[in-house]
Amino acid sequence: MQNIRQHTPLDKILIGADTVLKTLIPGAAEPYRPNPARAEAEQDMTPVERKHAAGLMRINHTGEVCAQALYQGQSVTAKLPEVREQMEEAAREEIDHLAWCEQRIRQLGSRPSLLNPVFYGLSFGIGAAAGAAGDKYSLGFVAATEQQVCKHLESHLQELPSADQKSRVILEQMYIDEEQHADQALNAGGVRFPVPVKMAMKLMSKVMTKSVYRI
């Protein structure tokens, strides 16, 4: 049986600091996988289309900032070592999405949201609270969050300008990954959250999407 590494307090501090820096400093996130849109040619779009596409990708980028913070907060308070390891592994995979979204935002002539530090702090607190409530609730929260992200991605795939194939390819790969993360969390013992909790999460996500589309 493979032994799960036990992190020292110093390890946890360094890992946490590294995650914060990679998440919030522009250009700091290095993807583990190549950008799926690297072979796609840039198509002509009107200024309005480019602005709209950039706004959608900015929302997705902030969503990945929130995901990093959630996973980091949960890994701090998770009870079982194997759950903590799963949170950290999921966070590493989400780094790909973070980097891909920022790359695309820059290509569209825009920038990430100025509100990212605020949403990171809020999401870290929510993640830590979920982890403290118990691993099955922490995993359930991951599943519910990823399911909500998938709904956003479905919506954005419909809203993207038809010429923006580069953004589309990125979002399609993100959808595959997020759906897998949700399934993994449930299979690992996560509870399915009741509808009222999911509605509250949906309301919070609306606040995020409305604010970061332009800011």
What share of the chain has pLDDT > 90, as a percent?
Answer: 13
In this predicted structure, the answer to whether residue 194 has a pLDDT above a threshold of 70 is: no
pLDDT tens by residue, 149-165: 888 888 899 989 988 99
Per DSSP, helices labelled H in 25-164 are 47-77, 81-107, 116-133, 135-159
Give me the CATH code for the 46-212 domain, please. Answer: 1.20.1260.10
pLDDT tens by residue, 165-189: 999 999 999 898 888 877 777 776 6
Window from 53-57, 93-97, 150-154 with minimum mean pLDDT: 93-97
Residue 196 pLDDT level (bands cut at 50, 70, 90): low
* 44 neighbors 163 (Cβ within 8 angstroms): yes
Domain boundaries, given as residue ranges, for the chain:
46-212
> Which residue ranges are tagged as binding site for Fe cation?
64, 94, 97, 146, 178, 181
Residue 72 is predicted with a pLDDT of: 74
For the entire predicted model, the pTM comes to 0.76
Residue 11 is predicted with a pLDDT of: 58
Residues 6+ apart with CB under 8 A from 72: 16, 19, 20, 87, 91, 124, 127
| Mean predicted confidence (pLDDT) in 38-63 | 89
> Which residue ranges are tagged as binding site?
64, 94, 97, 146, 178, 181
| Mean predicted confidence (pLDDT) in 15-30 | 65
* Gap between the Cα atoms of 198 and 202, Å rounded: 6
> Element (H or E) spanning 172, and its range?
helix 165-187
